[in-house]
Chains A and B, each alone.
Chain A
């Protein structure tokens, strides 16, 4: 069965600090990978996605993620966080072409001004 692990439950950073959130998945086949963000009081929004090709993908708001197939990882990065990045971040995986997403438990990011 597919599973997704996000090892950081709560991360607290000061503005301008660099961010890296870990995501590891378990699945033997070809996968699509996603990072979603949920800002306080808002619905889930797609930050970025990996379907195929260049393993370094860039998303909205300066976020990027790197797919490392050998490590089954898809870590999210941002060089300099802002207070407005305070939110909960979810990593998700699906079998290629399927619409049933498996989500990690989420990482709550708090950015201190």
Chain B
């Protein structure tokens, strides 16, 4: 079974731009969670989507948003990028009834 896939793997943007990251969960997994990993703050939860609805949200500004499609694929969007948004963005999926999450390789975002 294929694992969680994330595209693109690397992105370079400039301040003020917006970016969209994509995540395809493991087949059959309906929950998708997003995390931000930085050297200073570590791994922080952004939000979780289940059945196309945001079910949980972390403590991030409204510039960070996401959505989930009917096939469980998810996207996250960051608008008006800031230098501090440079990070590895990780996506994780899990099956219904368990909160054991499987992580993707991440998208490395660099904001210049």
Contacts and interface: CB of A to CB of B under 8 A. Distances in A.
B64 interface: no
B33 A43 contact: no
A58 B43 CA distance: 24
B56 A99 contact: yes
Interface stretch (B10-18, B66-74, B100-108): B100-108
Interface in B29-49: 31, 33, 35, 42-45, 48
Interface stretch (A12-20, A62-70, A73-81, A103-111): A103-111
Residue among A42, A43, A90, A105 having the largest count of chain B Cβ atoms under 10 Å: A43
Interface residues of A, number: 23
B56 A45 contact: no
B100 A103 contact: no
Interface string A34-47: 10100000111110
Nearest to B88: A43
A106 B103 contact: no
A43 B56 contact: no
Interface of A: 32, 34, 36, 42-46, 49, 90, 92, 94, 96-106
